[in-house]
Structure 1
Amino acid sequence: HIVDLKETIVDLINKAIIPLKAYSKSYDKYTQLMNLNVDNYIKDFEKTEKTADQVREEVRMHLRERDALEKVIPSSITIGPFYVITSKIRENLSNKRKLLAEAVLNYQTKKVRIKAEEINNSFRDIQRKLFEKPNTMEELHEHREWMKLIPGLLDDRKEDITTVMEEFGLLDEFLYNLSNEDFNMKWSLLSWSWKVSNMIIQVEEQHNEDEERFRKLQMHDTASLNEKLDSLIMNVAGLSSHANLDKAHEVANECRRLNKSLKECQEFATLYNNRERLFGIPVTNYEKLNKLLKDFEPFRNLWITTSDWLRWFDSWMNDAISFIDAENIEKNVTEAYKSMHKAIKQFQDAESVQNVAVEIKNQIEEFRPNIPLIQALRNPGMRNRHWEMLTEELKLPVRPKKDLTFKKCLEMGFDRHIDKISKVAEIAGKEYTIEQALDKMEGEWKSIKFDVLPYKNTGTSIIKASDEISQLLDDHIVMTQSMSFSPFKKAFEERISSWENKLKITQDVLDEWLVCQRSWLYLEPIFSSEDIVRQLPVESKRYQTMERMWRKIMKQAKENPEALTVDEAMNVVPCSHN
C-alpha cells in the first residue's frame, strides 16, 4: 500500500512539473542577453563611427528593453504546487541592459572628449602664440599680421564647438554624470571666444609698448651705423697713402677687413630701411655708403690682387713643380693682369698707388710667357717615359723630384727648349686621353651585372637579356678599335689589344649563352616528360648532357654575375652546339 502511495505522489509531481518546465522555456529568449559580454559588445559598436542620433537610439533601445523586462518578468510566480522566485533573474537582466546603455554613453563621452580636447588644444595654441614676445620689429609686424587672422580662426571653430556641445547635450538627456575634468572641458569650450578677445586687447597694449621700445632702438642703431660709416670713410681715404709693395699682404688684409665691415653696413642699411617702412617713418638715405663702396672697390681690387699675385708668384717659382695647379694658372694670371690694367686707369690721380699697379702689371707681363712651359711640365699625362724623353732631348737630367722647382727649371734653361718640351707634353696629353678613356670604360663595367633570375620550379636560373649591356659592348668595341688606329697608342698597345679581346669574347659568350638559353627553354618542358625520355633515349641523353652544362654555367653566373667575367666561362660554346 505504501509503495502505491509513493508511486502516486511521484506521478503527481511529474505532472505538476510540466507547466513549470513550460514556464522556464519562456526565459530562453533572454539567454543571449545574459551571456553577452559588455566589453565585446562595445568593441563591436565602436568599429564604425556612429552619429549622435545612432548613439541616442542605441541607448534608448537598451533602456526600453530594461523597462520591458521589469514589466514582463514578475518578482515571483506560483505554478501549481511550486512557488518560483524570479526577482534575481529580472534584476540581472535589467542590470545588463543598464550596463549596455552606460557602455554606449561611455563611448559617446570618450568620443566627445577627444573632439573637445582637440578644440581646446587649438585655442591653447592660439593663446600660446598670442603671448609670444617679439624680439625685433620684423617679428612684431609678423605677429600683428597673424593676429588679424584670429577672428577667422575663431569663426572656423564655432561650428565645431556647436557640434560638440550638441553631443554633450546627448549625455545630458540621459542624466549622464560627467567627470570633473569632462565637465570643465565642456564649459571651457564656450569661454574661449571671450577669453581670446580679452587676450588680444592685452597683447595689443603690449605691442604698443614693444613698438616704442623698438623705435628707440632703431634711432640708436641708425646713429651707430652713421658713426661707423664716418669711421670707414676715414679708413678708406687712408688707403691712398699706401704704396709700399713690402706691405702688400698687410694692406690686403686691411682691405679684407674693410670689405667685411662695408658688407655688414650694407646689410644693416637694408635692415634699418625696412624697419623704417614698418614704423611708417621717412626712410634714411645711405647714399654715402654707396659712394664709399664705389671709392673702396679700386683699392680692394688692387691690393687683394697684388697680395694674391705675390703669393702665387712665390709659390710657382719656389714650391715643388708638382704642386703647381696648371689648370688655373692661366686664368689667375689673366684676371690679375686685367685687374692691374684697370687699376692703372682708376688711379691716374694717385701716382704712388698707380705705380704699385704698374709694377705688378710689369711682373705679370714678364711671367706670362712662362705659362705654356709650366702647363707643359704639369701636363697630367706626363709619366716617367716622357721625362726620360725630355732627358734625352734636352741632354739634361730631368726628373719631377720634390726639390725640382720652376725657378730651377728656368736656371737649367728649360725656357730655351719650350718647343721640344711642348711636343713631349702634347704626346703625353694624347696618350693621357687614351689612358683616361680606357680607365673610364673599365670603370663603367664594374657596376654592370647580369640579371640572373630563378626560372619556374626547375631549380636553375636564366639570364635576362639586357639591351644596355649589348649596346655598351658595341660602343666600347668601336671605341677601342678606333684607339688601335691612334698614332699615340704605343704605350697602351698591349692594354688596348687585351681590352678589345675581352670585350669581343664577352660579346661572343653572351650571344652563345642566349642561343643556348633559347634551346634549353624550348627543350626543357619536352624532356621533362618521362614518355618522351622512353621514346627518345638517345636524344634524351644528349639533352641531359647539355642541361648539366647549362645548369653549371647558370650556377657560375649567379655566383659571379659581373658582366665582364663571362669570358672565363668559355665552356659555354659547346653548349649551343650540343
Structure 2
Amino acid sequence: DFVLKDPRKKDDDGKITELPPHRAEIEVLPKPWRRSFLSACSYIRDHLNAMNPMMLAVLDLWHSTFKKLRLVDIEEFHNRQDALELSEFQNIVIKHMESAKETLLKTWFPEVQNIYYRGNKKKQLPTGKSSAKLDSFFNCAATLMTLQLQGLILVSMQDFTDLIAQPPESTRAFEHPGFIMRLVLDKKTIKFTPDFNDYIDILINVYEIMIKTVSFVPRVETKLYSQWESKSKPTTLKPIILNEIIDTHKEKIREVVLRESVAPTEHLKMYDKYQFLITGKAERDIDEFLFQNQNYEKLIEEIRKYQKLGEEIQYTSRKTVRLGMFEMHCEELIKSLVKRADVICGKLIAKMFRDHQEVNTMLCDEFEKIAEKALSTPLNTAELMEMKAHVQKLETTDMLELRQRLVDSKNCLAFLIECVNFSPADIKLNNSVFQWYARMGEIFDEHRKIIKDKTEQYQEALKFRCERFVEELESYAKQVEEFHTFGDLLDVQRYLKKAQVLNGKLDAAADKIEQFNAEEEAFGWVPSVYPQRKKIQDGLNPYLRLYETAVEFSTKHRGWTEGPYHKVNPDQVEADVGNYWRGLYKLEKVFHDSPNALAMTKKVQSMVEEFKQYIPLIQVICNPGLRPRHWEAMSTIVGYPLLPSDDSTVFSFIDMNLEPFLDRFEGISEAASKEYSLEKAMDKMMTEWDSMEFVILPYRESGTYILSSVDDIQMLLDDHIIKTQTMRGSPFIKPYEKQMREWEGKLLLLQEILDEWLKVQATWLYLEPIFSSPDIMSQMPEEGRRFKAVDKTWRDVMKTVVQ
C-alpha cells in the first residue's frame, strides 16, 4: 500500500495548512519566473566563458600535469653535497628557468593549444559572427593561463626563498649545499670574493628573472589564428606579481645574507696577526732594515723568521671552513700571504747573496794586494823597511781580521747553499777566496826571502855611498879654501854665484847625512857623524854674506841714486843702509886671517859710509808730502829754483851741495809730513763713504717705502764729524782749511737731514695705521684731511728717493 501511493499526495491532503511566503511560492505551478530562469541559463551558457568545457580542460591539464612544475628545481640543490660557486649557482638557476620556459612553451602551451583546437571542432568556441564574444572568450582563456603562470611564479618564489632562507619547520641541516666564498688579498686589505653585496644582488635578481621567464608565453589565439591581429591587446601573457610580494622575498634574502655574513667577518679576524704582511708594513720594515747594512747573522735571523712565518701560514691555517651558508675557501689568501713572506725572504736572501759576493770579491782583492805588496821588489832602503814593517803588520794583525771575515763568509755560504743556486762564476769566486787564503803562507815565506836578499844588497850599497860622500866633503873643503884668494870687487858677481852653488851642495849634503842616518838606524847601525860638513858650512857663510851684501848694496845704490826721486822711500833707505853697515862691521872682525876678503869688506864698508852721509838729504827731498809750495819755500832759502821734474834723481840734488841748508829744510819737511798725514786722513774719510748705501725697503702693503738700517751710517757719520773737528784744530790744516770746512758742512748737513728724516718717518709710521681706518677718518675729518696732505708729500718724496 505504501509503495503504490502517489508520492505527490500526502496523508494530510485534507488538511489545510498555512505556509510561509517563501514556501508558498513553491506551491505555485507553473512558476512565474520559469521563463526568466531559462533565459538566464541560456545567457550564462552563451556568455560565461569560464564554464566552457575547454576552460575546464585547460584547468584540469594544469592541475593534473603541470602542478609540480617549478621555475627552479629545489630538489637538485637538496641532493647536492658540495658547495657551489655563486656563478655556478646562478648558471644552474638560469638553466632551470630555461628548462621551465621550454616546458611551458613546448609542452604546456601546445597542449592548451590542442584543447582549444579540439573545442573549436566540437563547436565549443563562440561563433565567428560575433568578434566581441570571441575576444571575450580568449580574454578569459588568457586570464586563466595568466593565473596559472602567476601561481607558478609565486610557488617558485616561495620555494627559492625557502631554499636560501631556511624555514623553521625544515628538518634539513641546510636547504642548500652552501656557497663558496673566497678570501683574497687585494693590495693592503683582505676581501671576500664574491662579496656579500654580490650575493644579495644575484640572489634577489632571481625573482626578476622568474617574472621575465614566464613573460614570453603567447596568447593562445595568436597561434590558433594565423591572421589574428589586435592592435590594442598584447600578444603574450603578462603575469603580474605585486611589488610587495617581491620586496618581501627580497628582504628575507637580504636579511639571511647579512645575518650569515657575521661568521665570515669574525673568521677574518683570525688573520689580524698577519696585518704587518697584509698592509705592507713588513716589507717597509725590511727595506729600512736592509738600508742599515746589517751583518749576515742578523740577515739569517730575519730570513729564518719569515721562513717560519710562511710555514706557519701555509700549514696551520684552515684552507676550507663551513660557516653557515658560506663555505670559506682561504687557499688563495694563504698563498698570497705565503708569497709575501717568500718575497721578503727573497729580498733578504738576495741582499745576503750580494753582500756575500761583495765580501768574497773584496777578500780576493785584499789577498791579491797583500801578495802583490809582499812579492814586490823594494827600490831602496826606505821602501825595504816600509815594506818589511807593512807586511809584518799584515801578517800579524790584518791576516787575523781577514781570517775572521773568511770564517763569516764560510758560514754565510753554508746558509746560502740551501737557498740559492750558484752560477759557475759564483762557484769560481767562492773557490778563489779559500785558495787565496791557503796560498798566503807560501807568499809570506817568499816575502821573507826577498827581504833578506835586498837587506844584504842595500847594506853594501850604503857603505859604498858613505865612502863616496866623504870624498865629496873633501872636495867642498878645497872649494872654500879658494875664497881666501878672491879680492877683486869687480868680480863679486862671479864670487857670489860660486858661493851660492857651493852652499846648495852643502844643503844637499845635510839631506844626504839625514838619509844615511835613517838607513843606518833602519839596519840597526850606529848613525855616522860628519863634522866636516858643518866646518865647511861655517867657513863658507862669511864669504857668502859678504858677496850678497856687496851685490845687493850695489844694486840698490844704483836704484836710489839714478832712479826717479819720487819712487825712493827714505825710511826704507835709512833702514837698509844701517843693516848693511852693521853686517859689514861684523864681517870685518871675522876676516882677520883672510886679507883679500878683509880688503873687499873694507871697500864695501867705505862705499856704504860714503852714501850714509846723504841720508838726511834723501829724507828731505824724497818726502812724499812735499808740494809745490814747499819746494818754493826751500827755493827761497837757497836762492834758486829747486822744484824737480818727474825724471829728477837723487844724484841731481847731491850735486847741488844742499847740506848747509838741511837744518832749515827739515822744518819745512816736517810740516809737509804733518800736512800730508792730514790730507791722507781726509781722503780716507771720503773713500769710506763710497761703500755706504741708504737702504730703502717697501713698507708692508702701503705702496710706499721707508728708510732702514741706518745704524752703521749714523755711527760712521758721528765718527767723521769728531775726526773732522779734531783735524780743524791742527796747526798744519791751513792748506786744506777751506776743503775741510766744506767737508764738515756736508757732514753736519747730512746729520741734520738724517735726524729730521727719521723723526718724520717715525711720526708717519705711528699715524699711518690710525688714519687708514675709515672709522677714524669719519670721527676726525679735519685731522684726516691734514694727514692725507702730509701722506701725499711723504709718498712723493720717497718715490723720488727710490728712483
Shift of 1:480: 1.5
Q: Which residue of 2 aligns with 1:530?
A: 774
Q: Which residue of 1 aligns with 2:397?
A: 152
Q: Which residue of 2 aligns with 1:245?
A: 489
Q: Indicate conservation of the 8 Å contact 2:314/2:334, yes or no.
A: no
Q: Which residue of 2 aligns with 1:258?
A: 502
Q: Indicate conservation of the 8 Å contact 2:84/2:178, yes or no.
A: yes
C-alpha separation between the residues in 1 aligned to 2:477 and 2:347?
A: 82
Q: Which residue of 1 aligns with 2:147?
A: none
Q: Identity of aligned pairs, percent?
A: 24
Shift of 1:305: 1.2
Shift of 1:370: 0.5
Shift of 1:122: 5.8
Q: Which residue of 2 aligns with 1:504?
A: 748
Q: Which amino acid aligns with 1:528?
A: S
SS in 1 for 2:71: helix
Q: What per-residue deviation string (whole Å, max 9, x for no partner) do you get for residues 309-343 of structure 1?
A: 22222332323323434342122211211122122
Q: Which residue of 1 aligns with 2:85?
A: 20
C-alpha separation between the residues in 1 aligned to 2:652 and 2:792?
A: 70
C-alpha separation between the residues in 1 aligned to 2:556 and 2:414?
A: 85
- 2:648 is equivalent to residue 407 of structure 1: no
Q: Which amino acid aligns with 2:779?
A: Q
C-alpha separation between the residues in 1 aligned to 2:465 and 2:643?
A: 63
Q: Which amino acid aligns with 1:57?
A: K
Q: Indicate conservation of the 8 Å contact 2:360/2:409, yes or no.
A: yes
C-alpha separation between the residues in 2 aligned to 1:304 and 1:219?
A: 38
C-alpha separation between the residues in 2 aligned to 1:353 and 1:200?
A: 63
Candidates 442, 460, 464, aligned match of 2:686:
442
> Which stretch has the larger CA shift, 120-129 or 480-489?
120-129
SS in 1 for 2:614: helix
Q: Indicate conservation of the 8 Å contact 1:452/1:462, yes or no.
A: yes
Q: Indicate conservation of the 8 Å contact 2:487/2:596, yes or no.
A: yes
Candidates 201, 205, 219, aligned match of 2:463:
219
Q: Which residue of 2 aligns with 1:567?
A: none
Distance 1:450 1:203, change over 3 A: farther
Q: Which residue of 2 aligns with 1:539?
A: 783
> Which stretch has the larger CA shift, 309-318 or 6-15?
6-15
Q: Which amino acid aligns with 2:302?
A: Q
Q: Which amino acid aligns with 1:366?
A: E
Q: Which amino acid aligns with 1:502?
A: K
C-alpha separation between the residues in 2 aligned to 1:404 and 1:455?
A: 62
Q: Which residue of 1 aligns with 2:303?
A: 55
SS in 2 for 1:28: strand
Candidates 533, 554, 557, aligned match of 1:289:
533
Q: Which residue of 1 aligns with 2:416?
A: 171
> Which stretch has the larger CA shift, 347-356 or 32-41?
32-41
Q: Indicate conservation of the 8 Å contact 1:322/1:400, yes or no.
A: no
Distance 1:342 1:447, change over 3 A: same
Higher relative contact order (CA 8 A, sep 6+): 1
Distance 1:175 1:527, change over 3 A: same
Q: Which amino acid aligns with 1:351?
A: P
Candidates 8, 32, 50, aligned match of 2:71:
8
> Which stretch has the larger CA shift, 318-327 or 230-239?
318-327
C-alpha separation between the residues in 2 aligned to 1:552 and 1:193?
A: 88
Q: Indicate conservation of the 8 Å contact 2:184/2:330, yes or no.
A: no
Q: Indicate conservation of the 8 Å contact 2:306/2:341, yes or no.
A: no
Candidates 334, 340, 355, aligned match of 2:578:
334
Q: Which amino acid aligns with 1:20?
A: E
Greater Rg by CA = 2
C-alpha separation between the residues in 2 aligned to 1:194 and 1:322?
A: 83
Alignment of 1:449-488 (within 5 A): 449=693, 456-458=700-702, 462-465=706-709, 467-488=711-732
> Which stretch has the larger CA shift, 326-335 or 365-374?
326-335
Q: Which amino acid aligns with 1:46?
A: D
Q: Indicate conservation of the 8 Å contact 2:307/2:342, yes or no.
A: no
Alignment of 1:192-203 (within 5 A): 196=440, 198-203=442-447
Shift of 1:241: 0.9
SS in 1 for 2:754: helix
Q: Indicate conservation of the 8 Å contact 2:307/2:341, yes or no.
A: no
SS in 2 for 1:273: helix
C-alpha separation between the residues in 1 aligned to 2:471 and 2:796?
A: 87
SS in 2 for 1:48: helix
> Which stretch has the larger CA shift, 302-311 or 547-556?
547-556
C-alpha separation between the residues in 2 aligned to 1:394 and 1:370?
A: 18
Q: Which residue of 1 aligns with 2:163?
A: none
Distance 1:28 1:357, change over 3 A: same
Alignment of 1:395-434 (within 5 A): 395-434=639-678
Alignment of 1:256-335 (within 5 A): 256-335=500-579
Shift of 1:287: 0.8
- 2:227 is equivalent to residue 72 of structure 1: no
> Which stretch has the larger CA shift, 411-420 or 246-255?
411-420
Q: What per-residue deviation string (whole Å, max 9, x for no partner) do you get for residues 156-212 of structure 1?
A: 55655555554444434x432234455555565666655555544433433333433
Q: What per-residue deviation string (whole Å, max 9, x for no partner) do you get for residues 75-96 of structure 1?
A: xxxxxxxxxx999999898777
Distance 1:129 1:504, change over 3 A: farther
- 2:293 is equivalent to residue 45 of structure 1: no
Shift of 1:483: 0.9
C-alpha separation between the residues in 1 aligned to 2:351 and 2:178?
A: 37
C-alpha separation between the residues in 2 aligned to 1:424 and 1:531?
A: 76
Distance 1:328 1:55, change over 3 A: same
The size of the alignment, in residue pairs, is 549
Please give the TM-score of this superposition, normalised by the length of structure 2.
Answer: 0.59
Distance 1:171 1:511, change over 3 A: farther
SS in 1 for 2:575: helix
> Which stretch has the larger CA shift, 114-123 or 225-234?
114-123
Q: Which amino acid aligns with 2:397?
A: G
SS in 2 for 1:26: strand
C-alpha separation between the residues in 2 aligned to 1:528 and 1:48?
A: 61
C-alpha separation between the residues in 1 aligned to 2:752 and 2:66?
A: 113
Please give the TM-score of this superposition, normalised by the length of structure 1.
Answer: 0.80
When you count helix as a share of all residues, which structure comes out higher? 1
Distance 1:449 1:103, change over 3 A: same
- 2:605 is equivalent to residue 361 of structure 1: yes
Distance 1:489 1:160, change over 3 A: farther
Shift of 1:239: 0.9
Distance 1:100 1:404, change over 3 A: closer
C-alpha separation between the residues in 1 aligned to 2:461 and 2:800?
A: 79
Q: Which residue of 1 aligns with 2:122?
A: none
> Which stretch has the larger CA shift, 422-431 or 133-142?
133-142
Shift of 1:489: 1.7
Q: What per-residue deviation string (whole Å, max 9, x for no partner) do you get for residues 554-573 of structure 1?
A: 667777xxxxxxxxxxxxxx
Q: Which amino acid aligns with 2:303?
A: V
SS in 2 for 1:27: strand
C-alpha separation between the residues in 2 aligned to 1:199 and 1:451?
A: 75
Shift of 1:388: 4.2
Q: Which runs of 5+ in 2 are unaligned?
A: 1-61, 87-176, 192-276, 322-328
C-alpha separation between the residues in 1 aligned to 2:429 and 2:704?
A: 68
Shift of 1:484: 1.0
C-alpha separation between the residues in 1 aligned to 2:460 and 2:547?
A: 40
- 2:449 is equivalent to residue 205 of structure 1: yes
C-alpha separation between the residues in 2 aligned to 1:487 and 1:175?
A: 101
C-alpha separation between the residues in 2 aligned to 1:140 and 1:286?
A: 25
> Which stretch has the larger CA shift, 547-556 or 432-441?
547-556
Q: Which amino acid aligns with 2:85?
A: L
